[in-house]
Homo-oligomer: A and B are copies of this chain.
């Protein structure tokens, strides 16, 4: 009698299919056009070198691991004290975030899953539609999602909060049902939209009134240009209702180095009065053993005054890329959202299937994009392009789009 697993039934996962479908299309395209120089504006992966001050700090630390003075073993599961302090003081300056409320992680996506373990299968969740697929994927895996309903392309137990230009990319909360958890990403992946202060005030009020927890993903906060809040904790009352998940991946080029953090404020309580931070601490100590010590040293260096200036100059580089992409699509008479507060540009093709647009662009210009439907049904008619890339790729993509695509 072989073992009967609980997960096997969920194997046909739309997102996994989506990702491999893009790869398959790319492979077929390269077979069809073996000499084409394919440009990827698909996956949001950093490409620019890490500033020397940050890389050197990691190198020096790693080399010293071979000396009695420089060696160290297990650190605190929650992260090095100095790094937790630097995150609280640098990235949350002026906000009452304590270093003990900062949990250093190996990336936002990993902590989203650890939060799902904390929350368990019995909670109800809401997500922005469109949104970063990890919220729904982890929800499916932990058993919250219910059946996938082909007709509407939604999981039965997940509340999809429509966010598009028709509502300034913010859900109509008056018609949104209460859920235990609200995943909210700002600046949003894939739309590139940062929620305004007023919008976030409404969100915090909504969560407070409903007894919901907001899991706020601020992984792209460093890209914010227009004065929108960089943290949910800029909103009064947020400490009682919100967890914030974030990352060094995009701000410091740490996609491969792996480093992130999560804030759980002491005031966030379960209904029985027990602080959520106690349980999250337990999850971190049981399911995680701390981020790599080398990565943590790099993270700390990136928050020094010189280091922070240096990493932000890389962010500026990507923002310049985003401007090139926005201008390109705009010049084609298309509405291009995002790109100002995030490294993603979200382009609308009214009336078109996002997969058709993806194929059309690939065929005509040899450029890989991401069909919007991969981010939820609300992404239909859109494609996402990433500004995380080399400048020359952006310029070449722009030229091809302007000349070959229309």
Contacts and interface: CB of A to CB of B under 8 A. Distances in A.
A294 B257 contact: yes
Interface string A184-212: 00000000000000000000000000111
A110 to B, nearest CB: 6
A43 B295 contact: no
A8 interface: yes
A99 to B, nearest CB: 19
Overall SS of chain A's interface: loop
Contact of A141 (B62, B180, B255, B283): B283
A271 interface: yes
Nearest to A290: B258
20 contacts: A3-B270, A4-B272, A8-B270, A47-B73, A49-B65, A49-B66, A49-B67, A50-B65, A50-B66, A54-B66, A55-B66, A59-B60, A65-B253, A73-B255, A74-B256, A106-B106, A109-B287, A109-B289, A292-B295, A294-B295
B49 A74 contact: no
B113 A117 contact: yes
B143 A8 contact: no
B71 A49 contact: yes
Nearest to A272: B8
A282 to B, nearest CB: 6
Contacts of A48: 71
B5 A282 contact: no
Given A3-B213, A59-B59, 9 more contacts: A3-B212, A16-B285, A52-B66, A58-B65, A65-B253, A73-B256, A74-B255, A117-B142, A138-B286
Contacts of A119: 5-6
A279 B66 contact: no
A35 to B, nearest CB: 25
Contacts of A212: 3
